[in-house]
A and B are shown apart, each in its own frame.
Chain A
Amino acid sequence: MALLGAEVNVGDLVFRGFAALFAVSIVLVLGAMALQMWVAARPSIAHSGWHFVVGRDWDPVRDSFGALPFIYGTVVSSLLALTIAVPISLGVAVFLTEVAPPWLRSPVSFLVELLAAVPSVIYGLWGIFALAPFLRNHLEPLLGKTLGFLPLFQGPHQGFGMLAGGIILAIMITPTISSVSREVLRAVPDNLREGALALGATRWEALRHAILPYARSGIVGAIILGLGRALGETMAITMVIGNRADISASLFAPGYTMASVIANEFTEATGDIYLGALAEIGLLLFAVTLLLNVIARLLVWQVARAPEGARG
């Protein structure tokens, strides 16, 4: 057999080029997404200017677009979700890495993953028919009675509102925060853990003084990832938040989110400016979640990339 032939195998060259093409396409899709949204949003940016983010009036008929109520609703429901989900998620992550007996870890983490697998619209359906009535008849009266002196817990009990939205979001972001935190905790070098335990520390002391300080930035990253999920979540929250463009101090009152208004009005929007206004909301969401994701990935990579002596 002769040795002669091209120095580089032609098949290899074609294959590599093909694979590279699709790799590039991921970057291109992300870029195209930003570009398309910006182009679609431009009429609205020109029309509304800064009024868009500070105005409270959303009146498509009069071409008046102030998106503040949606921004407010998105921020408040997401913060409420974090308040509920962060302690629970961290509890789950610590339980799965430090507390639970090894045989229990894999089935429990599978169940937590299933929580993320249930489609958003199913949570919404459950929210409408189970969670909202429960809030209206039980939880809201109870909160009103005990904590009613706070403006947060005043007003009529409606079930559908900010509280329901926050709870639904909390359920949905718990698996994200807990699984990323768990990865981060697993990436903590064993010698830190063992070092503390060998000095006579209890599990909790080892966690608090040796493990958490090391993992802190990664856990912050996990929380930010959860926040990103909450901000962009659409169906479930649209189904329970009440969809009213008001800004109210009470968590019992209905609200509206950025994603919800897009879901509800996009197909009915007529005219470049109205459509552009919805696209601008989308663009804002896109930009904010993109930024949060970049920050979060950097934070998580910082911890999870130091694999020396880490758990497999």
Chain B
Amino acid sequence: MTQSVSLLGATTSARDSTRSSARTSAPPTTDQPKMRAEALKAYFGATEVLKGVTLPVASHTVTAIIGPSGCGKSTFIRCLNRMHEVVAGARVAGKVLLDHQDIYAPDVDPVRVRRRVGMVFQKPNPFPTMTIRENVLSGLVLNGLRPKDPGELVERALRQVALWDEVKDVLNRSGTSLSGGQQQRLCIARSLALEPEVLLMDEPCSALDPIATARVEELIHELRERYTIVIVTHNMQQAARVADFTAFFYLGELVEHDRTDVIFTRPSEKKTEDYITGRFG
């Protein structure tokens, strides 16, 4: 009940108001969602960790998912590219639409979903047996695709994540020889090389120092031009800095979803207010 009310609120308020933020030219709306979760439930064995979440993700926007640990926010984005079911005993019910097509429909190959909806994980995880170059190309090579101009592709992907200047002379070094922040940007480049339409980021900065975090945030900002991004974060300031929309999850339910400035200045739910003012979690 709560969620449908707040969802309605989110759509109307997004449509009505013009954004005060200077960083966007046009106000983002969720009218034409790139993705949309409908009554999404997720289970680990018999435990229900997502209790029917409905949430639209607008095209070319950044949506932040916040909430205390254990609220199901990581599970939620793992459901958006069918990574949740990889764990033994994990199960999903409900729908997730990608361009109006349900990715949980019986004839959908999860492998293809993941090529269109990329993912960046909490801890940087470059492939240790591959060089920096090979890591960038790994998504294509492992899928049996041969890029026409691999050199150009590597440079473009690494430039997108602002890593090119730092690594252009050491492309044949192991991916694990980089610093944590560089590794995470390498992992983002690895996902971008596949040219996904949506990029999911599961607390991408939680293992990084403040300087590296700032770089990744800057990067998210730039990537919004070309990709639709959903980012999970436990850091509310980060959500406020990078996201157009913010969704607050609590105990497996979506409590509130609205424009970020609305969520952080005048949330309509008491729970949201308690959380962002630090009264719990």
User: Would A and B touch once assembled, by the CB under 8 A criterion?
Assistant: yes
A: residues with CB less than 8 A from B are 1-7, 9
Shortest distance from the beta carbon of B111 to any chain A beta carbon, whole Å: 5
Decide if B106 touches A3 in the complex (CB within 8 Å). no
CB neighbours of B12 from chain A (8 A): none
Shortest distance from the beta carbon of B199 to any chain A beta carbon, whole Å: 16
Of all chain B residues, the one with the shortest Cβ separation from A11 is B111
Interface string of B102-140 (1 = CB under 8 A from A): 010111111111011000000000000000000000000
The listed residue (A3, A5, A7) touching B98 by CB distance below 8 A is A3
Decide if A4 touches B108 in the complex (CB within 8 Å). yes
Of all chain A residues, the one with the shortest Cβ separation from B116 is A1
Of all chain B residues, the one with the shortest Cβ separation from A12 is B111
Decide if B108 touches A5 in the complex (CB within 8 Å). yes
Decide if B108 touches A9 in the complex (CB within 8 Å). no
A236 to B136, CA, bound (A): 56
Of all chain B residues, the one with the shortest Cβ separation from A6 is B109
Asked if B32 CB lies within 8 Å of chain A CBs, one says no
Decide if A6 touches B107 in the complex (CB within 8 Å). yes
A1 to B111, CA, bound (A): 12
CB neighbours of A7 from chain B (8 A): 106-110
Decide if B106 touches A2 in the complex (CB within 8 Å). no
CB neighbours of B103 from chain A (8 A): 3
CB neighbours of A1 from chain B (8 A): 112, 115-116
Asked if B101 CB lies within 8 Å of chain A CBs, one says yes
Of all chain A residues, the one with the shortest Cβ separation from B112 is A3
A2 to B105, CA, bound (A): 13
Shortest distance from the beta carbon of B101 to any chain A beta carbon, whole Å: 6
Shortest distance from the beta carbon of B233 to any chain A beta carbon, whole Å: 28
A4 to B112, CA, bound (A): 8
Interface string of B3-30 (1 = CB under 8 A from A): 0000000000000000000000000000
A4 to B108, CA, bound (A): 5
A5 to B108, CA, bound (A): 6
9 nearest interchain CB pairs?
A: A5-B109, A3-B108, A3-B112, A9-B111, A7-B106, A5-B112, A4-B107, A3-B101, A3-B113
20 other A-B residue contacts (CB within 8 Å) besides A2-B112, A3-B109, A4-B107: A1-B115, A1-B116, A3-B101, A3-B103, A3-B105, A3-B112, A3-B113, A3-B116, A4-B108, A4-B109, A4-B112, A5-B107, A5-B108, A6-B107, A6-B109, A7-B106, A7-B108, A7-B109, A7-B110, A9-B109
Interface residues on B, range: 10 to 19
Shortest distance from the beta carbon of A13 to any chain B beta carbon, whole Å: 12
A114 to B29, CA, bound (A): 70
A6 to B108, CA, bound (A): 6
A183 to B177, CA, bound (A): 34
Shortest distance from the beta carbon of B85 to any chain A beta carbon, whole Å: 11
**What are 8 A-B pairs at a CB distance below 8 A?**
A1-B115, A3-B98, A3-B103, A3-B105, A3-B108, A3-B113, A7-B108, A9-B110
A5 to B105, CA, bound (A): 11
Q: Which of B64-94 contact A (CB under 8 A)?
A: none
CB neighbours of B113 from chain A (8 A): 3
A9 to B98, CA, bound (A): 20
CB neighbours of B106 from chain A (8 A): 7
CB neighbours of B98 from chain A (8 A): 3
Of all chain A residues, the one with the shortest Cβ separation from B195 is A1
CB neighbours of B101 from chain A (8 A): 3
CB neighbours of A9 from chain B (8 A): 109-111
Most buried by B among A1, A3, A7: A3
Shortest distance from the beta carbon of B130 to any chain A beta carbon, whole Å: 21
Shortest distance from the beta carbon of B195 to any chain A beta carbon, whole Å: 10
Shortest distance from the beta carbon of B251 to any chain A beta carbon, whole Å: 30
A176 to B105, CA, bound (A): 54
CB neighbours of B109 from chain A (8 A): 3-7, 9
Of all chain B residues, the one with the shortest Cβ separation from A5 is B109
CB neighbours of A5 from chain B (8 A): 107-109, 111-112
A9 to B112, CA, bound (A): 10
Shortest distance from the beta carbon of B106 to any chain A beta carbon, whole Å: 6
Shortest distance from the beta carbon of B115 to any chain A beta carbon, whole Å: 7
CB neighbours of A6 from chain B (8 A): 107, 109
Of all chain B residues, the one with the shortest Cβ separation from A7 is B106
CB neighbours of B108 from chain A (8 A): 3-5, 7
Of all chain B residues, the one with the shortest Cβ separation from A2 is B112
CB neighbours of A3 from chain B (8 A): 98, 101, 103, 105, 108-109, 112-113, 116
A16 to B134, CA, bound (A): 27
Of all chain B residues, the one with the shortest Cβ separation from A8 is B109
CB neighbours of B112 from chain A (8 A): 1-5
